[in-house]
Amino acid sequence: MASDERTSCDEIRPLAREATRGGLDPVTRERVYGHLAGCPTCRSVAEEERDLDRLLEQKLPRYAAPLALKRRLEARLPGAGEPPPPHRRHAALRWAAPTLAAAATAAALVLLVPRGPTHLQGDPLLAEAVADHLRVVYRDHPVDIESGGPHQVKPWFTGRLDFALPTVFPGNDEFTLEGGAVGVYLDRQAAVLVYKRQLHKISLFVYRADGLSFPKPDRSMGRALASVRQVRGFSVIVWRDGELGYTLVSDVNENDLLRLGAQIAG
């Protein structure tokens, strides 16, 4: 495969999730659908993302979306705006039909995690952490680059993200680095690093922090000040370091996750 084709796939795959949920602007959406129509590998990724949305809809509690939210989602459905060019219209329509259902699922996914004592209301960083971690847990292959050590994982992200990934914690006797992938966290690209402690998976999301509101720090974690929350049985740690934000989430206990967080922040 030519290098430009690899670049195209690397660019499209992180967008597959948003494409299946109707969350892209019309121009980007048409470009993604055109690529999916001719790339079986990326099409498989998009189908997996759509299946994961359906699975999360079944597994997590749902709440009725407000009418205003439903209208905003409807406005973002494929078909809103200008139609694709004739030579791509068939491919776009083929992908638009399943996406109509997926976009309806998205309305539920926005409100999947319950409100109340978990501090999730008005805190999208935490809500996104739980949903994205479950995507890691449910995926058969959550990483695109398996770990051969940090010197293999970190260079893999070069050119695949719109920011420079800092040093990657290589793991130790307690926490094993399984690998990494490019994902989408809220509305931006993210490096997804997957660690493991015994049988428990741990997700680390690294993303640009600009424009985001971080919860008030309540814990000292190595050289970082972090916010620690319990969300539906998951420990979630959020912190900011310069221009980058970090979210660490797992079902391991809080103290275990704090030890890993201190290693990453250090």
Res 170: pLDDT: 92
- The CA-atom distances, in angstroms, between 244 and each of 63, 80, 156, 210 are 32, 33, 19, 8
Rounded to two decimals, what is the model's pTM? Answer: 0.62
Q: pLDDT, tens digit, for every residue of 33-73?
A: 888 878 887 777 777 667 666 665 555 555 455 555 556 55
Nearest Cα to 192, choosing from 135, 112, 255? 135
Q: Give the 3-state secondary structure percentages of the chain, helix then strand then coil, rounded to 5.
A: 45, 20, 35
Does residue 238 contact residue 129 with C-beta atoms inside 8 Å?
Answer: yes
Q: Is the pLDDT of residue 123 over 60?
A: yes
Q: Is the pLDDT of residue 193 over 90?
A: yes
Residue ranges and CATH numbers for the domains of the chain are 3-109 (no CATH), 124-265 (3.30.200.100)
Res 253: pLDDT: 92
* Average pLDDT score over residue span 171-187: 92
Q: Spell 32-66 as b/e; 16+ CB within 10 A means b.
A: bbbbbbebeebbebbebbbebbeebbeebebeebe
C-alpha 148/C-alpha 178 separation (Å) is: 9
When the pLDDT of each residue in the chain is averaged and rounded to a whole number, the result is: 76
Res 264: pLDDT: 95
Q: pLDDT, tens digit, for every residue of 231-264?
A: 888 999 999 999 999 999 999 999 999 999 999 9
Res 20: pLDDT: 64
In total, the chain counts a number of residues equal to 266
Res 74: pLDDT: 62
Does residue 198 contact residue 253 with C-beta atoms inside 8 Å?
Answer: no
